[in-house]
Amino acid sequence: MSKFPVRSAIRDAMAEEMRSNPNVFLIGEEVGEYEGAYKVSQGLISEFGNQRIVDTPITEAGFTGLAVGASMGGLRPIVEFMTWNFAFQAIDQIINSAAKTYYMSGGLVNIPIVFRGPNGSALQVAAQHSHDLSALFTNIPGLKVVAPYDSADAKGLLKSAIRDPNPVIFLENELLYNEVFEVPEIDYSIPIGSANIKKSGSDITITSFSRGVHAALKAAELLEKENISAEVIDLRTLRPLDTNTIIKSVKKTNRLVSVEEGWMSSGIGAEIISEVTSKAFDYLDAPPERIAALNVPLPYASNLEKLCIPDQDNIFKLCRRLF
């Protein structure tokens, strides 16, 4: 094992896949000469050249559609959105073209493509630059949705995403890019669709994904001090959701709290709780709960912004209430 920030884990996954498959290429704004607005593609242009690291104009709808076409034409595009907020410009190509073509063609035309970039809130960049699109994409049949937390998962899951024959939404988080975690030195990948138990426990199950895992783990430490043993599940993939792992855990702990940084209504928590109440109803000792961003567009002012995103204390308090 060696330690890498999430940023370079993502870069390495792309570089390794590009080395092994000449049809994999990266396209997006500032990915080449600028080496990525968040420096995720650092060094790639010098290794792969501008044929395979393609700088685009600011035309999200255009280059996303183009990438879908390139995928039909036999290539394996990795589309970087500078941030996911800008993918709203391209949402039609993602949903109507990428996600639905395989079905509409009766299985004749599949679209292997990865859409990736930082998702959710950063620091004080206000509503138009802080949108968490996780729940939105999990609503769409034809897409796979991945949202890793640490470096090892980011690398292993991105490799699977690039090899996947379907469109995969790969949600990163700007605030995690600098975080350093261990990464196996062997050649490995992590299958899409499997959650990971980050910390096992016996009294309550906390599910989360992406940066929410960090807060969940911290809350688990606080709970430990009160003699509550929390099991923390990193969902890693949001669609298809690994309900087996969640249900197995709830059957053991009998309590559930879902944590997400997106909004609550029709969110990931709603989905998880609905699955759990229908499949493990008799095992629940307390009503399942969810915690999410407050129901407002994210404000700019730092004091207001801090109130909006769930932190370890919010999670801790909510969990404790269930006993």
Partner 1 sequence: MLKDKDYSNIIDELGGGRLLAKNLSKFTNIVLNEKTVYSWKQQGIPDRWKPSIIKLLLKAGGTIPQGFIPPGMSVNNFQDNSSLNTELLEKYDNFNENDISNKTLESFYEKMLYLRRFEERVGQLYGLGLIGGFCHLYIGQEAVSVGMEAAINKDDNVITGYRCHAHLLSRGASPYKLLCELMGKGDGISKGKGGSMHMFDPKNNFWGGHGIVGAQVPIGTGLAFASKYLNKPSLSLTYFGDGAANQGQVYESYNMASLWKLPIIFCIENNQYGMGTSIKRASAGTDLSKHGESFGIPGFAVNGMNPISVYLAAQKAVKWVREGNGPIILEMKTYRYRGHSMSDPAKYRTREEVQKMREEQDPIEFMKKKLVDKKIYSSKKLQSIDDKIRSEISNLAEKAINSNPSNEDDLYTDVLCEDYDE
Ligand X SMILES: Cc1ncc(C[n+]2csc(CCOP(=O)(O)OP(=O)(O)O)c2C)c(N)n1
Residue 307: count other Cβ atoms within 10 Å of its Cβ.
13
Instruction: Give min distance, CB of 125 to ligand X, in A.
Output: 10
Q: Which is nearer to partner 1, 103 or 300 (CB)?
A: 300
Q: Which is nearer to ligand X, 9 or 87 (CB)?
A: 87
Site for ligand X in 104-143 (CB under 6 A): none
Please report whether residue 1 would count as binding partner 1 according to CB under 8 A.
no
Residues 31, 82, 238, 284: which binds ligand X (CB under 6 A)?
A: 82
Using CB atoms within 10 Å of the CB of residue 175, give its burial: 0 to 12 exposed, 13 to 18 middle, 19+ buried.
middle
Q: Which residues of 213-240 are buried (b: 16+ CB within 10 A; e: fewer)?
A: bbbbbbbbebbeeeebebbbbbbbbbbe
Residues 88, 100, 275, 279: which binds partner 1 (CB under 8 A)?
A: 88
Residue 131 annotated among the catalytic residues of the structure: no
Instruction: Give min distance, CB of 133 to ligand X, in A.
Output: 14
Residues 35, 60, 203, 271: which binds ligand X (CB under 6 A)?
A: 60
From 17, 29, 129, 260, active-site residue: 129
Identify the residue whose tokens are 């090899």. Answer: 163
From 17, 29, 35, 60, active-site residue: 60
Identify the residue whose tokens are 């969640």. Answer: 246
Site mask, ligand X, residues 28-47, x = CB under 6 A? -x------------------
DSSP for 186-214?
S-----TT--EEEE--SSEEEEE-TTHHH
Number of residues engaging partner 1 in binding (CB under 8 A): 36
Please report whether residue 294 would count as binding partner 1 according to CB under 8 A.
yes
230, 319 Cβ separation under 8 angstroms: yes
Residues, the chain, total? Answer: 323
* Strand partners of residue 233: 197, 207
Active site residues: 60, 129
Sites of contact with ligand X (CB under 6 A): 29, 58, 60, 82, 86, 89
